[in-house]
Amino acid sequence: MSTAQSFLFFLILLGAAATGLRLVSRTTPTVPYPVLLALGGILIGLVPGLRLPPIGPDLILLAFVPGLVFEASLSLDLQELWRRILPVSLLATVGVFLTVVMIAVLVHFGLGLDWASGFLLGSIVAATDPIAVVSLLRRLGAPPGLEAILDGESLFNDGTGVAVFTAVLGTILTGHPSVTDAGLRFVFVTVTGVVIGLGAGTIAVLFLRLIQDAELEILTTLVVAYGSYLGADLVHASGVVSVVTAGVVVARYGSRTGRLQGTQLHGFWNLLAFVLNAVLFLIVGIALPAHRLVPLAGLALGAYAIMFAARAIPVYGLLGLVDPRGASIPWSWRHMTLWGGLRGALSVALALSVAAYPQVNSDVSVLAYAMVVLSLIVQGGLLLPVADLLRLRERAVK
């Protein structure tokens, strides 16, 4: 087959697999659809003799991440998020830094990785991606406050996590890693990303005020989502921070005016997000470096355990500072926030991106990928039993 035919076959294969697994998910409601997609992708990737196009980080970061992040920003319940702004802000900022440091320390002393590799590994898996968690909680009718915390944290820590990753990788590539250099890089990529996102979002709002056409609204937001990411990426700032900022600006305009609620715009973005997620979780499974993972299986299990344990510190510590008595943030919410800290496609893209650098320990990419897949399978596969154990479903019914 030619290159074009191979790519078309790849798309057909992904579409057929996503459709089939969607039907399977209806008969196995205990396992979230994204988890089935990841498992299906792993099985496809293990088929002997099956030649698939190479999957690189640029494909994930440029084609999928801007659309998914913008849709998440657009669909935020801003009023509920504002009520939970303190815990969300702490988890998405201080929580990310604590997670990176905890993982770096534990993998250095526990698994023997050098400090630079430890901090890089921590920055790759610092951001959460609770798509499966939030969709399940919505079906159960779980409290909107818990949804706001999980949604808000994942959205904003995507930006923080990528900014930390960019700073850590940049200082490693200089050959002389330092905390000061990483800190300065973090400030640059974050502030520049926010400025570009604010500019793109403001221009979009000004244009949306002038038009009364659904198709133009869709095209405008598409240009803003991918344009803000590309603009930040071209100046080596954080594209994710830029998209998040632009999305929140547009969402705030829609919330204040009520113009964008219940329109074709939201229907389009919901459909696009569903398709992107379906294809993306399959790609996550297909790209699994199984041949390199087997020799590192023990280290991978240890790294996953460290990642899970490291999340407990910011979750219980920071949420405990916000609400020591558990009045507004019950303990069941905190437990689900811990368990729902799945890692996803963004971490996979970052893991794949470092594999090409000779200055980076080659084991970091494989370990990060394994940690993501294990979080999807273990935490994602047991979401419903954990939700029942925490009586989130019963509270919803009551």
* Confidence check: pLDDT of 394 > 60: no
Percent of the residues in the chain that have a pLDDT greater than 70, as a whole number: 92
- pTM of structure: 0.85
Read off the pLDDT of each residue in 68-89 and give the average, rounded to a whole number.
87
User: Which one of 81-85, 99-103, 351-355 scores highest in mean pLDDT?
Assistant: 99-103
Read off the pLDDT of each residue in 312-327 and give the average, rounded to a whole number.
91
Is residue 257 very low, low, confident or very high in pLDDT (cuts 50, 70, 90)? low
Read off the pLDDT of each residue in 223-242 and give the average, rounded to a whole number.
92
Which domains does the chain show, CATH number per domain? Answer: 55-397 (1.20.1530.20)
Classify the C-alpha dihedral 323-325-331-333 as positive or negative. Answer: negative
Give the pLDDT confidence score for residue 184 in this predicted structure: 85
Among 170-179, 192-201, 213-222, 357-366, the range scoring the smallest mean pLDDT is: 170-179
* Confidence check: pLDDT of 333 > 80: yes
Distances (CA, A) of 367 to 129, 210, 222, 295: 18, 50, 34, 11
Q: Please say whether the beta carbons of 51 and 6 come within 8 A.
A: yes
Please write the tens of the pLDDT for every residue from 19-52.
998 888 888 777 778 788 888 888 887 777 777 7
Q: Please say whether the beta carbons of 30 and 384 come within 8 A.
A: yes
